[in-house]
Homo-oligomer: A and B are copies of this chain.
Amino acid sequence: MRLRVITAGGTIDKVYFDAASTYEVGEPQIGPLLRDSNVTFDFVVESVLQKDSLAMTDEDRSLIRSRVEAAPEKLILITHGTDTMTATAAKLQGIADKTIVFTGAMQPARFRDSDAVFNVGCAVGALQVLPPGVYIAMNGVVSPADKVKKNRAASRFEPKA
């Protein structure tokens, strides 16, 4: 089993820069996170964007699609900001023979109480058993990407009405 992780920024990768008292998207957390979890599968991490997902453009989404299409791996995990995760997922529909699972976090991975480790675990567990398609794994629930939306006020994903 081998998977490619494409990182697009978002809350999961936010770090705190004391020197500037700012809080920005930093280096991808997913590599250390997977190694600390003692995973035995092969993976490669490709950092495509380091953006808050509210700042992502159509060009950014096209870039992500082109990177997914170019990937030799069949299994693609994408870490992404939660606010526009469904919009990017919509742009990845119709790529043949690839299983693509998006995940992210409501609290930065560096936080003590972050949901990042659980969410990534959930995405990895689903990714390897799902048929090709585009999915979102958030809050412990794995769904086709076009069936969920973020409830911003409640900070969670929910089924689309």
Contacts and interface: CB of A to CB of B under 8 A. Distances in A.
Interface stretch (A65-73, A90-98, A107-115): A107-115
A141 B121 CA distance: 10
Interface string A91-129: 000000000000000111011110101111111111111
Taking residues whose C-beta sits less than 8 angstroms from the other chain, chain A's interface range is 35 or more
A158 interface: yes
Interface of A: 1, 11, 14, 16, 18-19, 21, 23, 33-34, 36-41, 52, 54, 82-83, 106-108, 110-113, 115, 117-130, 137, 139-142, 152-153, 155-158
A73 to B, nearest CB: 15
Contacts of A11: 16, 18, 21
12 contacts: A1-B141, A21-B52, A37-B140, A39-B141, A40-B158, A41-B140, A110-B111, A117-B117, A118-B120, A121-B124, A122-B125, A129-B142
B124 A124 contact: no
A40 B129 contact: no
Nearest to A11: B18
> Number of copies of this chain in the oligomer?
4
Contacts of A82: 18
A155 B123 CA distance: 23
A65 B125 CA distance: 24
Contacts of A140: 34, 37-41, 121, 124-125
A4 B76 CA distance: 29
